[in-house]
Structure 1
């Protein structure tokens, strides 16, 4: 698997982006200002990630592996390649408080940073249910990426 940076026509990857962020209007807030990476395996797009520059470091705003390729290590591989791109920086990621994704990011070296109370219930038009749980708070994790 390798990552390719996409500079134009980023909305062509909307269906994959929506797997990680269910509301297009939220994706619109970061897609154009962020760097979009697509994960390719044997010429197929199997995943996406969007990273933005922030005051405190960089933020992983969106990361999704297409359903047929999940649970095969591609998400971890994608993160490891992103860590190579952002060596010496701090990377943040915000995720739901359902407990479904937090363990994945923790296994990749992220640690708890802070919570944004009521983020999903205040910023999304429709309720988001993940693993049977209504998402309410955003958990922000961080990782200091060594040089």
Structure 2
């Protein structure tokens, strides 16, 4: 849900948002960056970002966020960040400069970095964006150039230390874990997902909906989470699976914390439906979820075989919800 103090709605973005992301990028570079770069430099920059390049970025390790005008729905800003705190992109459409959106997007990146446990936020910043990053507490580590074709574009490597922030309680593997979204080939992970929902027919009903987070250690995917958009500001955790050897290491709790930060700015409730199990109900309650309803006989009606957990046959489906508090962002209007 949109923050009441800003005219923008910031939501997760993915491959389906390609056109909106590209429109913001091209308008921002063409109009805002011409104060600091030559026409040849800008042309090289714009030509480098092809549909194939967007596809690589959107299917890599970056988490994209798209800001829209909450009244018109027009795309207003783009930000992407990975689990290591690297802010790959931050662009504001010229129509929305000096409305606090740049700070707002960096605040979202900051909350994401806290959730992932990144030691710092860092970015390769254009000369145009340098004042915004300075105003948000980043310092210059070095001056460098981005080589784009035959052109050299000056930029700054800038960083902001996150060590003073209260971090999410992280699993021991957080420092070596790779976290990314899986858009294609989700069936490759079906053996993992079946640990949380052992009926493949039921699993296929939501497998290709929403977003799928995956946590990998080395070459092994050790945990996954699928979250769908149910409308009216509700996101539902459809599947949260952790491989047996990695359970009780805090990875499931970590994935829930990441989901909260991914959707916080546009979601009022996180919801999960699970069996009445002595293992899963206390887990979700410890993560701040509260039971709101019970569907008696759900597992008897929807599954063609008995489902057992912790020695108990599951019959009822329990729905739990967790309200998401809205983030507070400065909107002094002095930045991009």
Between the aligned partners of 2:304 and 2:255, the Cα distance in structure 1 is: 30
TM-score computed with the length of structure 2 as normaliser: 0.42
Match of 2:182 in 1: 6
The 5 Å alignment of 1:1-147 reads 1=174, 2-42=178-218, 44-56=220-232, 57-88=234-265, 89=267, 90-147=269-326
Kindly name which structure, 1 or 2, has the bigger radius of gyration based on alpha carbons. Answer: 2
Structure 1 gaps of 5+ residues are: none
Tell me how far 1:42 sits from its aligned partner: 4.4
1:71-106 alpha-carbon deviations (Å, 9 max, x no partner): 111111111111110104211001111221000000
Pick 1 or 2: higher relative contact order, CA cutoff 8 A, min separation 6.
Answer: 1
Structure 2 gaps of 5+ residues are: 1-173, 327-336
Between the aligned partners of 1:3 and 1:108, the Cα distance in structure 2 is: 20
The two structures, once aligned, show a CA RMSD in angstroms of 1.3
Structure having the higher helix fraction is 2
15-24 or 41-50: which moved more? 41-50
